[in-house]
Structure 1
Amino acid sequence: MNTMTMPRSVEAPGADASGPDVPRSTETHAPQRWSLGRWASRIGRFLAYSFIALLLGTVGFSLVISLLAAGAGTAIIWIGLAILVLGVVAARGFTMAERAIQSGLLGTELPTPAAKPAPAGAGRMRRLLTPLTDPQSWLDALWILVNFLLALVTFPLALAWTLGAIATVGGPISTLILEQVLPDSTGNGLAELLGFTGRNALTVDIGLQMLCGLFFLLTVGPLVRGFTAAHQAVARGLLSSRYEEQQQLLRTQESRAAGRTAESTALRRLERDLHDGPQQRLVRASMDLARVEALSVNDPERAQVVLRETREQLGLTLDDLRRLSRGIAPPVLVDRGLAAALTELAAISPIPTSIECPQLDLPDHVDIGIYYVVSEALTNAAKHSEADSVHVEITRIGDDARVRIEDDGRGGAEMRTGGGLAGLAGRVASLEGRLTVHSPEGAGTRIEAVIPCGS
């Protein structure tokens, strides 16, 4: 018996650890304790990075800006274009050094966008000038300028704050040493200006030095973290933003290609099923009706027998058409929603199926995608799983919709090329989603699809 179960509460994201593709944290991280070594290492790494950045920035700014200025000034002749190309190529070399330095000292990975290729069949001069038409080349040159100006500010400030923090201990010690070595020098500091004399002046000087040093000590950590974040943000925005755009474009192209492949496969499969099933039965029914027409006068009893056989054939044809239409969004999905459509699928499934589908207000293309996933999964379960029951669960996790179909059958399902699961994965990929199959031998099958709702 097929049942429909409406959950009392929607599953919270990450509540079920069995879903392999749902983003969640599986580890419990204890709060990190403050460590003098880690604190000093972070400051030391940034000082080293900013010093190297300042040196490279000075060289890069001088070289790249000079080349670009010279190239722009002489662009009216061919040599100016060559100098411009040399300038952007030099800028790309400095950005490669920046990526290596940030990776080694700051732990920041900066992906490199793919260079713009020369047009097919382009001549030598066109290929030479291609870097000038690549937007990333000019972003590299802009980064040379921005990072140099940023390093001019961050390195001196970070160094001054670090020395100020060291003075928390070094200042009082140096004052005590001077007081022992040069007694006459005491009382000439800020304490004297405040009206203190003798030993009181020494005590006040040490106290003020410790207070100033403590200020630098407490603020040097946040200051260095802020400077590090600023360098990382500038580098990521200018050097790697186009990489993310390229990856997004690549994912979109792959999704569209997967969609075209899935649709083409589905159409060929539908055409084959129609030809092998309903079409053959309809041809036979047409021939039987012609026989009935011929027998109706001379052999009415035989005509009645043929009519009954024709009616059976038409009934089987109707069943075939219903089966084939299960992969196509039915009117009930549009009129009454996803829950009603899935309930109808469960009602015609030969395996007892329960549906857990709250009202989630999903986009139409997501509703259709989920319906298709459930339809195919139930068909596969009926053919291969030998299961006693199937459970279908629909949830919303952030900006994604998740559908999970689990059966208690014999398992062993695999995503083979050209198979039903591979076609289903392609259909899900066309919606920029992902599909996973977990089917150990003898332990049932779990099919899970996660489809973004914003695409």
Structure 2
Amino acid sequence: MTTMTLPETLDAPPPQAATPLQRWSVGRWAAPIGRFLAYSLIALLLGAIGFSLVLALLIAGVSTVIVWVGLPILIGGVLLARGFAAAERALQSSILDTELPTPAPRAAPAGAGWMRRLITPLTDPQNWLDSLWVLVNFLLVLITFPLAMAWTVGAIATVGGPVATLILEQVLPPADNSGLGELFGVPEPYALPVDMALQFLIGLLFLLTLGPVVRGLAALHRGVARGMLSSRYHEQQQLLRTEQSRAAGRTAESTALRRLERDLHDGPQQRLVRASMDLARVEALAAKDPAKAQAVLRETREQLGLTLDDLRRLSRGIAPPVLVDRGLAAALTELAAISPIPTTIESPELTLPEHVEIGIYYVVSEALTNAAKHSGAAGIVVEVARIGDDAWVRIEDDGRGGAEMRTGGGLAGLVGRVASLEGRLTVTSPPAHGTRIEAVIPCAS
């Protein structure tokens, strides 16, 4: 027998929406301040150690490098700076929730000797940035930590100041207890209340500005760390994406050329060879059997017409004249007109770079060809738009779906073609629910 237990909260009243006062809780307000104080204290301790060690090693290494003794000392200094930079990345990640990716270290060339491998750390710009960061961050935290502590103590004075004044008023003799009220010449009966009110107002000023000040100090540390510890990582990633885009472009171009060669060989070339042979037959039959020669000429004319159609079809994948003369919308409309599946084009007049227009045209042309061959769809929708600095195109049909990315297939070629333009292409094709192809291509030249 199975017993099902109802949750205890079944009869509980529905949760009430949090009021603004509840959303503004002391814990949520104080947490960033506590985290920054903890971070800056640890950073101050690590910075003092790192500043002393790294600076000492760098100075000793530079001053003795001329006699080669300083070379390993200098290498040890930059590697130690790399270690303190790694500690900073971990510290900001765990306390300030800041991701500081690590740039890849420079590697020695393949087959390099031991001396080249030894001095490779000295040729890595990031190691010198790490060393500079150790010095800059220590000087920075010498300013930000006392500033944050002073603002925090000032904010605590909102409550602590008046309480301390009341306690001192009871403990100290009146002659030894003078406050802001007496300093401003307030008469004795009102000196104590004025003193407490001024302390409260000064503390309130610190309290109200504590959050923005701490956030600004934390943003300063994040900005310095990003600029010195992770800027080269983003440069490396951009370079990697560029290299991948170029490689994808070369692959896509090679694939397109092989495909064009195959199509020319299997289509127009074969038809032209047959037409040449038929014309030779016509020459032989012209005198003997004119009627037969006329029939062969008709067949030859048909073959040449089919050859012309093939050449026009192949030229659409390269640079169709209508795209150059009348723009992307007109070129896509022509593609829709010759598509065997009813196709709707939603493309406003857009100002796009030429290479982006050719890329979109190629994507749509290939997608329509694939849909005609494999989808069994009753309709296709093509939508083109510009979103910010990106051009976006969607081709969606209502066919059988189930499209797969196969090596050497049409979809794989599309991915390579879009990647060569530093864009991205996604294919969504659940079985029995149609296929949607989306491509995003940057418009930056």
TM-score normalized by structure 2?
Answer: 0.93
Tell me which of 110, 116, 129 is aligned to 1:126. Answer: 116
2:169–2:177 contact (8 Å) kept in structure 1: no
Match of 2:97 in 1: 107
Q: Any unmatched runs of 5+ in structure 1? A: 1-29
2:153 and 2:436 map into 1 onto residues whose CA distance is 60
Match of 1:293 in 2: 283
Match of 2:184 in 1: 194
1:317 aligns with 2:307: yes
Q: After superposition, what is the alpha-carbon deviation per residue over 1:382-419, rounded to whole angstroms, capped at 9, x for unaligned?
A: 11111122221110000000111111222111222221
Match of 2:8 in 1: none
TM-score normalized by structure 1?
Answer: 0.91
Q: Would the alpha carbon gap of residues 174 and 335 (structure 1) be closer, same or farther in structure 2, given more than 3 Å must change?
A: same
1:257–1:430 contact (8 Å) kept in structure 2: yes
1:218 aligns with 2:170: no
- Report the Cα offset of residue 183 of structure 1: 5.3
1:410–1:444 contact (8 Å) kept in structure 2: yes
The code of the aligned residue for 1:169 comes to: V
2:275–2:303 contact (8 Å) kept in structure 1: yes
2:342–2:379 contact (8 Å) kept in structure 1: yes
Match of 2:72 in 1: 82
Q: After superposition, what is the alpha-carbon deviation per residue over 1:138-189, rounded to whole angstroms, capped at 9, x for unaligned?
A: 1001101110111000000101110111111111112112223335367511
1:241 aligns with 2:249: no
- Report the Cα offset of residue 437 of structure 1: 1.0
Match of 1:8 in 2: none
Moved more, 438-447 or 201-210: 438-447
Describe the SS at the equivalent of 1:440.
coil
Point out which structure has higher relative CO (alpha carbons under 8 A, 6+ apart).
1
1:187–1:197 contact (8 Å) kept in structure 2: no
1:185 and 1:211 map into 2 onto residues whose CA distance is 25
1:418 aligns with 2:408: yes
2:168–2:177 contact (8 Å) kept in structure 1: no
Describe the SS at the equivalent of 2:69.
helix
2:329–2:348 contact (8 Å) kept in structure 1: yes
1:186 and 1:222 map into 2 onto residues whose CA distance is 38
Match of 1:374 in 2: 364
- Report the Cα offset of residue 219 of structure 1: 1.0
2:141 and 2:216 map into 1 onto residues whose CA distance is 13
Moved more, 50-59 or 347-356: 347-356
1:186–1:202 contact (8 Å) kept in structure 2: no
Match of 1:280 in 2: 270
Describe the SS at the equivalent of 1:225.
helix
2:186 and 2:269 map into 1 onto residues whose CA distance is 109
Describe the SS at the equivalent of 1:404.
strand
Describe the SS at the equivalent of 2:367.
helix
Moved more, 233-242 or 70-79: 70-79
- Report the Cα offset of residue 258 of structure 1: 0.5
1:346–1:353 contact (8 Å) kept in structure 2: yes
Moved more, 72-81 or 427-436: 72-81
Instruction: Trace 1:60-71 onto structure 2 (pairs within 5 A).
Output: 60-71=50-61
Q: After superposition, what is the alpha-carbon deviation per residue over 1:2-26, rounded to whole angstroms, capped at 9, x for unaligned?
A: xxxxxxxxxxxxxxxxxxxxxxxxx
Q: Any unmatched runs of 5+ in structure 2? A: 1-18
Tell me which of 133, 141, 146 is aligned to 1:143. Answer: 133
1:304 and 1:402 map into 2 onto residues whose CA distance is 53
Describe the SS at the equivalent of 2:381.
strand
2:169 and 2:180 map into 1 onto residues whose CA distance is 15
Match of 2:12 in 1: none
Match of 2:46 in 1: 56
1:157 aligns with 2:142: no
2:76 and 2:153 map into 1 onto residues whose CA distance is 41
Match of 1:271 in 2: 261
The code of the aligned residue for 2:122 comes to: L
1:91 aligns with 2:74: no
The alignment-based identity, stated in percent, is 78
2:148 and 2:189 map into 1 onto residues whose CA distance is 34
The code of the aligned residue for 2:192 comes to: L
Alignment: residue pair count: 426
1:356 aligns with 2:346: yes
The code of the aligned residue for 1:445 comes to: T
Match of 1:400 in 2: 390
- Report the Cα offset of residue 273 of structure 1: 1.3
Describe the SS at the equivalent of 2:250.
helix
Describe the SS at the equivalent of 1:447.
strand
Q: After superposition, what is the alpha-carbon deviation per residue over 1:174-232, rounded to whole angstroms, capped at 9, x for unaligned?
A: 21122233353675112112222433111111111101111111111111000000000
2:346–2:384 contact (8 Å) kept in structure 1: yes
- Report the Cα offset of residue 45 of structure 1: 0.7
1:188 and 1:345 map into 2 onto residues whose CA distance is 90
- Report the Cα offset of residue 322 of structure 1: 2.1
Match of 1:453 in 2: 443
1:179–1:185 contact (8 Å) kept in structure 2: no
1:169–1:210 contact (8 Å) kept in structure 2: yes
2:215 and 2:129 map into 1 onto residues whose CA distance is 25
1:351–1:389 contact (8 Å) kept in structure 2: yes
2:385–2:393 contact (8 Å) kept in structure 1: yes
1:187–1:198 contact (8 Å) kept in structure 2: no
Describe the SS at the equivalent of 1:414.
coil
Tell me which of 152, 164, 169 is aligned to 1:179. Answer: 169
- Could you say what the CA RMSD is over the residues aligned between the two structures, in angstroms? 1.6
2:176 and 2:45 map into 1 onto residues whose CA distance is 41
2:285–2:293 contact (8 Å) kept in structure 1: yes
Moved more, 271-280 or 192-201: 192-201
1:388 and 1:311 map into 2 onto residues whose CA distance is 34
The code of the aligned residue for 1:149 comes to: L
1:179–1:186 contact (8 Å) kept in structure 2: no
1:266 and 1:244 map into 2 onto residues whose CA distance is 32
1:305 aligns with 2:295: yes
1:373–1:424 contact (8 Å) kept in structure 2: yes
2:179 and 2:305 map into 1 onto residues whose CA distance is 107
Describe the SS at the equivalent of 2:427.
strand
- Report the Cα offset of residue 34 of structure 1: 2.7
Describe the SS at the equivalent of 1:165.
helix
